[in-house]
Structure 1
Amino acid sequence: MEPMKPLTDKQKDILIFIEEFINDYGYPPTIRDIQNNCEISSTSVVKYNLDRLQEKGLMTRESEVSRGINLKSEPKNPLIKVPVIGTITAGEPFPLFDDNRWEYDDMDMLGLPDNFSYLEEKLYALKVSGTSMIDALIGDGDTVIMEKTKSVNNGDMVAANVISENETTLKRIYKEKENIRLQPENPLMKALIYPSKNISILGRVVAVWRNLNK
């Protein structure tokens, strides 16, 4: 019997990328994802190397399915799924429900490490539009992971709904006597001050998912 050939560097790169992608997102990459991220010249070269990995027993692939790759080994880090329920921008309210159950239909899901599992039923995610929190390293296109709570402390980053204007914004919160100050992390922007009764807290930031491709 002919001995099995060792993995090429390209095949090792593909295997590592697939495993990391599944760990990060909870589902496998497409052929195009692999081509772009592993800097491979064409999708046919990707398919050739996937066939070789399948022959070596390291994965299976359903060629008719866009994300039909399955590794024989399980991802290293179990994931919890968090719904991405909308975009947080001034003037654009987003849906939030009164209980801890989410309707997952038509929602994107974000995979997070299981060290967030103690908060799983209270977590949701929002895509960020704008630069008001840029000095807190939260930029346009990033995603914030929110804990659904109304109990927050001064200095927490929160999703705050301005009731009279039906607007939702991402800011640091400070309670000042009868008012609430919503403080941006951008020296070019001014703080927003409202009567406390005009602000509804929709959640606080517990993590940030950076978009490094923007």
Structure 2
Amino acid sequence: MAKISDTLSARQEKILEFIQNYVKKYGIPPSIRDIVAGCSISSTSVADYNLKHLERLGFIRRHHEISRGIELVDKVSRACPVTVPLMGRIAAGRPIPVPDTETWNASNSAETVEVPQAFVDDRKDVYALKVKGTSMIDALINDGDVVIMQAVQSVDNGEMAAVWLKTEKEATLKRFYKEKRGNKVRLQPANAQMAPIYTEASNVEVQGRVVGVIRKLV
């Protein structure tokens, strides 16, 4: 079997590594502009040329109809799956009610799902949620997909998070942003047709961050 270094240029290896690290950190693919900035590339056309080469060789798939349409092809991790608890559904659209916050306790789950080893690595408290809705479609998360979550109580701005809205007793999947002015949080969909949710920071309880996605194949 040929090594990666036998088939890819140094720049292409750097781009592939950047994509892998970006997905691992944020749970979503980078945009072409992210790749240009992160890999010190001169233009988006140069990045696109190298992405086409990675796609031809089977390292990635590209979905040109959405803004972050880069999907890693990882045969090794898919061959060595890990079982994690499936904790029910999460709304990627309008928030949907869930019975109570005990829903998020992985020990309560009777269902499981197999995920690539790369989604787990050395992370603790990893679980899965089935997505309902299309508000995160531009982040390659569609209705019926399964998101892989790490149970955490805080996330950085821009990360995708499962959020519990205390007053409404509802859960939603959105990108999380702390507003610079006031004690507000913006929960931002990845769908240009949908508006963000603004709420008091005290009303928000982060339940986990997205670390991977298993796409439903139609």
Q: State the TM-score, normalizing by the size of structure 2.
A: 0.57
Partner in structure 1 of residue 163 of structure 2: 160
Partner in structure 1 of residue 84 of structure 2: 82
Partner in structure 1 of residue 22 of structure 2: none
Secondary structure of the equivalent of 1:135? Answer: helix
Secondary structure of the equivalent of 1:102? Answer: helix
Partner in structure 2 of residue 123 of structure 1: 126
Q: Percent identity, aligned pairs only?
A: 41
The runs of at least 4 aligned residues of structure 1 exceeding 6 Å deviation read: none
Higher RCO (C-alpha under 8 Å, 6+ residues apart): 2
1:153-177 Cα offsets, whole Å, 9 max, x none, are 0000000111100010000010014
* Unaligned segments of structure 2, at least 5 residues: 1-76
Partner in structure 2 of residue 186 of structure 1: 191
Q: CA deviation at 1:76?
A: 8.6
1:54-99 Cα offsets, whole Å, 9 max, x none, are xxxxxxxxxxxxxxxxxxxxx99333211111011222226112xx
What is the alpha-carbon distance in structure 1 between the residues aligned to residue 108 and residue 153 of structure 2? 21
Partner in structure 2 of residue 211 of structure 1: 216
Aligned length: 133
What is the alpha-carbon distance in structure 2 between the residues aligned to residue 152 and residue 88 of structure 1? 17
Q: What root-mean-square deviation, in Å, do the aligned CA atoms of Structure 1 and Structure 2 show? A: 1.9
Change (3 A) 1:92 1:76: closer
What is the alpha-carbon distance in structure 2 between the residues aligned to residue 144 and residue 76 of structure 1? 15
* Unaligned segments of structure 1, at least 5 residues: 1-74
| Residues 1:149 and 2:125 aligned together | no
Q: CA deviation at 1:110?
A: 1.4
